Structure 1
Amino acid sequence: MLRRHLLASTAATLAAPPLVRAQGTVWRPDRPVTIVVPWAAGGSTDQMARLVAAELEGALGARFVVVNQPGASGSIGTKNALEAPKDGLTWAAGAAVDVGCYKVLGLLDTALADWNLYFAVANVNIVVASQASGFKDFGQFLDALKARGDNVSVGTAGISSAGHNMMEAIRQASGISYRHATYDGGAPATVAAVAGETQVSAVLLVEAAEMIRARRLVPLAVQSEQPVTLRGFGEIPSILRWIPNVPAPLNYFGIWSPKGVPQMVTDTMNSVWAEKIATSQRLKDYSDSRAALFAPLSGERAYNEAWKMVRQTAWLYFDGGKARVSPDTLGIARL
């Protein structure tokens, strides 16, 4: 069902009008373009951003440089992109739900509507266990959380990260507790579980895929409506087998520029996204190999799809006592 949904989304994207050709104006950057990844190198955002940068270089004949600026759950790098000159030469990358919830968490005064959105993939959250933890399936992990949760260490990329959101959804649905260990990104959190520094890590499947295939990590469950098949490993069960009421919205990743950049920039990027990114074999292969979903969306459609997870996550923070601002004061209604 998820893949049918995204195929329909892709078809809509491909049908978008070629704005650049219609207006006869093309943005050609005369200096390198920076894509700020507000997380550590090697994680899901970093992987996606580098693939997108390579495709954009080919389409526009300009250099796109990926710069890692981790810290404060991604808000530091995002803030730097937000405050950069609005000339199209500085972009941010990441998960749209983060941008949509920074104001709720009191981390950054911005909202999803402040950005021109361009998505490449939708990622799936996963809980993986260290080989030394003894956990063989999610049921064993859940039993341990219920019995001694404060002694069970779970690594994530920090507050507002996809893995932390997954653990908070589990906590809210089942009443468990856990000991949260934060890292500067999904890649360090994954390595922590491999090394036995944490018993478990909650990250994105794209970040843990290689270590799962190498049998260095035990995949316990994915936050998805259906089991997910990882090429070279096999099927990973859905968390809904154990906790049926955990939400599983799609988690969209991409790049974005602040509203206010020249119209020529957005017109050009709209066309590049429809004609180059939406047909990118490089991104399709990446998605297939790591069990991500290819989702080349932009504009209003991207906003509407991402808004679903923003609404769910913002109220998850509020109900869990982590919100500094009530979502309803920001126009974020409960699902």
Structure 2
Amino acid sequence: MFRSSRWMLSAAAPALLVATLGATAQEWQPDRPINLIVPWGAGGSTDQVTRVTAPLIAEELGVEIVVVNQPGASGAIGTQEVLNAPHDGYTWTANAIANNATYSVTGLLEGTDIDDWHIYLSVANVPVVSVPADSQFTDFGQLLEAFQSEGGRGIAVATAGITSSGGTAIAALSDAGGGFEYNMVTYDGGGPAAIATASGEAMVTTQLAVEQTELIRGGRLRPLAVLSDEPLVLEGVDPIPPITQWLPDMPLAPDYFGIFIPADAPPEVLATVDRIWEEKVMNAPELKAYAENFGAVFAPSYGEEARALAMPVVILEACSALERGEAVNDPSTIGIDCETRTETGGN
């Protein structure tokens, strides 16, 4: 199981938040199905973990939670759909929280930030740099040299888009590796990007381990490095070496995934889902097994604790976008000071 000294993953329940919400809200009893929009393609990291957690909540609520894949614009199209829908508790979304928090910085969605969402985190994921099984590259050092050469811009990297985990991973690798060029090829999700690489459509993928695990175990992808300071251990596979073996100063932060409900949904909705998350999801053997089998970190939390855990990766991705010239809006507009790499308390 992957573990990193930089990943301080707390699983303590924010009981105070439950008590506060519970004191002011009655138990919610939905009377129709809930629409849960996954703004990425089927089979990717968000889709995978959402289809593990959604049935656990549905069983407790007594209604169906319909998971709908609505990919496009690096997750922004499906996310906008949720923001546009009535905030009555019947339309949720799922994603990497750093995406929802920084869409405004990248210009994909205007006027939104992390505090538009009540956050339920399930796992933390880590990107892996992989190549097709028959690739000429047998370790990351060789690939890095190729990227840094004159021909680096011709190396096709399959991702789910600029703001996807794979997109931000290759951008971060470029930053740490001296600003090398590359050719990003985008797909509707991390799963399709990994499959495309395995089939030879691209030379590299930097998507998440959970999207690559079966292809790695099946011998179709060759993993070269994990974006962590410790090896990633997957059952049946040699440990994947940490990126710090080649880029020791590369900034790293855990990439948290989960389900998000608009923060201004009725209090009884949030209080009820808080209770279910704490009682059912935070100890769910199904979620633990998923994390162990696919190279994710079991890290469920919710509310203010989840927000605090998310902020390091939010700050890293927002400020990295600014440094690369990809920011349409300054991170200060969502309360982030990139000079100090701290949160300033709001926009």
TM-score scaled by length of structure 2: 0.92
In structure 2, how many angstroms separate the alpha carbons of the residues matched to 1:327 and 1:13?
28
In structure 2, how many angstroms separate the alpha carbons of the residues matched to 1:2 and 1:81?
34
In the alignment, is the contact (CA less than 8 A) between 2:232 and 2:242 conserved in 1?
yes
Partner of 1:76: 77
**Residue of 137, 143, 158 corresponding to 1:155:** 158
How is 1:114-125 mapped onto 2 (pairs within 5 angstroms)? 114-125=116-127
In structure 1, how many angstroms separate the alpha carbons of the residues matched to 2:199 and 2:224?
17
**Residue of 142, 162, 174 corresponding to 1:140:** 142
In structure 2, how many angstroms separate the alpha carbons of the residues matched to 1:267 and 1:24?
7
In structure 1, how many angstroms separate the alpha carbons of the residues matched to 2:26 and 2:333?
40
In structure 1, how many angstroms separate the alpha carbons of the residues matched to 2:16 and 2:101?
27
Residue 133 of structure 1, CA deviation:
2.4
| 1:302 correspondence with 2:303 | no
How is 1:195-274 mapped onto 2 (pairs within 5 angstroms)? 195-274=199-278
Which is worse superposed, 34-43 or 17-26?
A: 17-26
Higher share of residues assigned helix? 1
In the alignment, is the contact (CA less than 8 A) between 1:34 and 1:65 conserved in 2?
yes
Residue 332 of structure 1, CA deviation:
1.0
Secondary structure at 1:255 match in 2: strand
Secondary structure at 1:256 match in 2: strand
In the alignment, is the contact (CA less than 8 A) between 1:133 and 1:200 conserved in 2?
no
Residue 2 of structure 1, CA deviation:
4.0
Partner of 2:187: 183
Count of paired positions: 333
Partner of 1:52: 53
In structure 2, how many angstroms separate the alpha carbons of the residues matched to 1:230 and 1:204?
13
Secondary structure at 1:246 match in 2: coil
In structure 2, how many angstroms separate the alpha carbons of the residues matched to 1:294 and 1:5?
12
- Paired amino acid for 2:172: A
In the alignment, is the contact (CA less than 8 A) between 2:17 and 2:303 conserved in 1?
no
Residue 321 of structure 1, CA deviation:
1.4
Partner of 1:170: 173
In structure 2, how many angstroms separate the alpha carbons of the residues matched to 1:316 and 1:20?
36
Residue 28 of structure 1, CA deviation:
1.5
In structure 2, how many angstroms separate the alpha carbons of the residues matched to 1:295 and 1:36?
22
Extract unaligned runs of 5+ from structure 1: none
Residue-by-residue CA offset, 1:188-233 (whole Å, 9 max, x unaligned): 1001101100011110000000000111100011111211101221
In the alignment, is the contact (CA less than 8 A) between 2:4 and 2:228 conserved in 1?
no
Residue 10 of structure 1, CA deviation:
1.1
In the alignment, is the contact (CA less than 8 A) between 1:19 and 1:268 conserved in 2?
no
How is 1:284-295 mapped onto 2 (pairs within 5 angstroms)? 284-295=288-299
Partner of 1:104: 105
In the alignment, is the contact (CA less than 8 A) between 1:36 and 1:66 conserved in 2?
yes
Residues 189 and 103 from structure 1, CA distance in 2 versus in 1: closer, same or farther, beyond 3 angstroms? same
In the alignment, is the contact (CA less than 8 A) between 1:127 and 1:221 conserved in 2?
yes
RMSD (Å) for aligned C-alpha atoms: 1.7
Partner of 2:327: 323
In the alignment, is the contact (CA less than 8 A) between 2:22 and 2:271 conserved in 1?
no
In the alignment, is the contact (CA less than 8 A) between 2:21 and 2:267 conserved in 1?
no
Secondary structure at 1:248 match in 2: coil
In the alignment, is the contact (CA less than 8 A) between 2:12 and 2:301 conserved in 1?
no
Residue-by-residue CA offset, 1:27-71 (whole Å, 9 max, x unaligned): 121110011000000000000111111111122111001000000
In the alignment, is the contact (CA less than 8 A) between 2:105 and 2:329 conserved in 1?
yes
Identity %: 43
In structure 1, how many angstroms separate the alpha carbons of the residues matched to 2:16 and 2:196?
44
Residue 272 of structure 1, CA deviation:
0.7
How is 1:24-43 mapped onto 2 (pairs within 5 angstroms)? 25-43=26-44
